[in-house]
Structure 1
Amino acid sequence: MAALAAMAVTASLGRWQLSRAAQKLALQAAIDERKALPPLAPGELLQGGSDDDVLLHRRVVLRGQWLPEATVFLDNRQMQGRPGFFVFTPLRLEGRQAVVLVQRGWAPRDFQERTRLPQVATPQGSVEVAGRVAGAPARLYDFAPAGEGEGSSRIRQNLDLAAYGAEFSLVLPPLTVVQTGDASEGLRRDWAAIDSGVDKHYGYAFQWFGLCGLVAILYVWFQIVRRFPGRARA
C-alpha cells in the first residue's frame, strides 16, 4: 500500500509538472507573438492598466526628453555574469506631459569605491528610444519594506514605482520600457532572451516519473524477487 501510494503521488506530481510545462509553452508562444507585432504608439503604451499585461513584451519606439535628475542605479544586477547596475531614467514623451521610466542599460560598478557612480552619458534634447515593454523592476531581497528608504541615494537595491514617482513628482504608468539596441552612452544592452522556463518543468517531471519508476522497481525486487527467488526464475 505504501509503494502504491508513493507511486500515485509521484506520478501525479509528474503529470502536474507536464501541465505546467504546457502552460509555459502557451506563454512563450504568446510572448513570441507579441514580439512580432508592430511597435506600439505612445498613446497605446499609456492606455495599459495595472492589471493588463497585454502590452508586456511588445516593441515600442518613443520620442522625448530624458529627465537626468531622476536617474537611479539599481545595484547587484548582473549582465553575462558580471555584477553592476541597471540604470533607469524617466523619459518625458514628446508632445505630452506623460513620463515613462526606461531601463536604459547596464553599467559595471567600481569595486574599489562602491559608492562611485558609473560614467553614463545622458543626451539632451529630443531622443528616440527603441525598446520593449516590461513590468516593474524585479525586486531583490531587501530587509526594508517596499518603497521604504528608497530615496536616500541614487544607488538603490530596489525600485518601487509608486514611491519613486512620488519622490520626483512624476505620474508613471505601472510599467517600464527596456531599451534595446547596441551599447552606447556607457551602457550595455546584452539582455538575456526572454524564457518562460518550460525546460525546468520538463526536468522536474522527469525526476518525478523517475522516482515513480524507482519505487516500482524496488517493490518488485524486495517483495517478489528477493522473497520468492525460485518463483521469479520460473
Structure 2
Amino acid sequence: MNSLFIALITKRIVATVSALLVIGIGCGAGIWQLGRADTKIALAANLLAKQQMPILSANAGSWTLEEASERRMIARGEYIPDAAIWLDNRPRPIPPVGSANVQSGFYLMMPLRLEGRNEVLWVNRGWAPRNNENRETLPPVQTPNRVVNIEGIVFAQPGRVYELGGGKADIDPAKPRIEQNFDLVAEGKLHGWQQSPFILREVDTGIDDGLFRDWAPLTTGVDRHYAYAFQWFALAFAGFLFWLLTGLRQYKRQGFMNGDQG
C-alpha cells in the first residue's frame, strides 16, 4: 500500500497538483452553477407568491418600490405616445416554437398619465420586432387615444443591456427615441413629471396592438445551469480518472521493471 501511495502521489507531485486544480475548479464551478439554478428557482417562487397577493391599484395612492415590487397592479389612465422610448437590442422573451435564431427587437416604454392623480406611471407595453434594414423604421404599434385600463407586474426597471459610452445624445423631437437602456430618474428630470418609483410590465390580456407580451418566466435557463453543472462535474471526474489511471499504469510498469511480475 505504501508503494502504491508513493507511486501515485509522492513521485507524481506535479501531476497530483494539476489533478487537484482540475478537480477543484470543476467542482467549484459545478456547485456555482447549481447555486445559480437554486437562486432562479427561489426568485421565481417568491415572484409567484407575491403575484398571489391582492392586486394593487396605481390610482389608489402612492406606492413605494418596496411595497409594490413584483406585485400585480392595475392602472387607469391615458398614454403619452410622444414621450415613448424604444429600448433596442431586446430579444423576444419567448421565441416562436421551432425558431433557431434569437430575434432582436424593442421594448416599448410609454408613460401613462394616471386618471385622478398628478402622476405618471411608465409602462413596458411589450416587445416588437426590429427592422433589420433600417433601425429607425419602427414596427407598427397601435396606441389608444383614450383612457385605458391595464394590468401588469411591478419592477424596478425593464432590464439593462451592455451600452458603449455613458453620454446621451441630444433628443431630436423629429425622430423616435431609440435607447439602449431606460433611466427612470433621468426621465422624471427631463419631463418634470411626478412619477411612480417603478415601472409596470404589462401582461397579455389578448389586446391586439402589435406588441408581444409573452414574458419569459424567471426559471428560464435553469436547465442550462444544470447542464453546465454536469459538464463541470464531469470534467472534475475525468481529471481524477486520468490522474488515477496514469498513476496505476506507471505503478504497474515500475513493478514489471523491478521484476515484480508475480
Category of TM-score, reference length = shorter chain? 0.7 to 0.9
Moved over 6 A (4+): none
Letter in 2 for 1:124: N
Distance 1:67 1:214, change over 3 A: same
In structure 1, the residue matched to 2:136 is: 115
Distance 1:108 1:47, change over 3 A: same
Distance 1:86 1:217, change over 3 A: same
Query: Counterparts of 1:186 and 1:5 in 2: how far apart (Å)?
Result: 53
Shift of 1:9: 4.2
Distance 1:200 1:55, change over 3 A: farther
Moved more, 38-47 or 187-196: 38-47
Q: Deviations over 1:201-222 (max 9, x none)?
A: 3233222221221121111211
Letter in 1 for 2:171: G
In structure 1, the residue matched to 2:177 is: 154
Query: Counterparts of 1:128 and 1:163 in 2: how far apart (Å)?
Result: 26
Any conservation in 2 of the 1:73–1:87 contact (CA below 8 Å)?
yes
Any conservation in 2 of the 1:136–1:174 contact (CA below 8 Å)?
no
Q: Report % sequence identity.
A: 35
After TM superposition, the score normalised by the length of structure 2 is: 0.74
Any conservation in 2 of the 1:151–1:164 contact (CA below 8 Å)?
no
* Correspondence list, 1:99-114, <5 A: 99-114=120-135
Any conservation in 2 of the 1:48–1:55 contact (CA below 8 Å)?
yes
Q: Secondary structure at the match of 2:229?
A: helix
Any conservation in 2 of the 1:10–1:211 contact (CA below 8 Å)?
yes
The equivalent position to 1:35 in structure 2, one of 51, 64, 70, is 51
Shift of 1:119: 2.9
Moved more, 126-135 or 174-183: 174-183
Moved more, 168-177 or 16-25: 16-25
Q: Which has the larger radius of gyration?
A: 2
Distance 1:57 1:216, change over 3 A: same
Matched, 1:76 2:76: no
In structure 2, the residue matched to 1:171 is: 194
In structure 1, the residue matched to 2:11 is: none
Distance 1:17 1:88, change over 3 A: closer
Q: Secondary structure at the match of 1:120?
A: coil
> Structure 1 unaligned runs (5+)?
none
Any conservation in 1 of the 2:113–2:121 contact (CA below 8 Å)?
yes
Distance 1:23 1:192, change over 3 A: closer
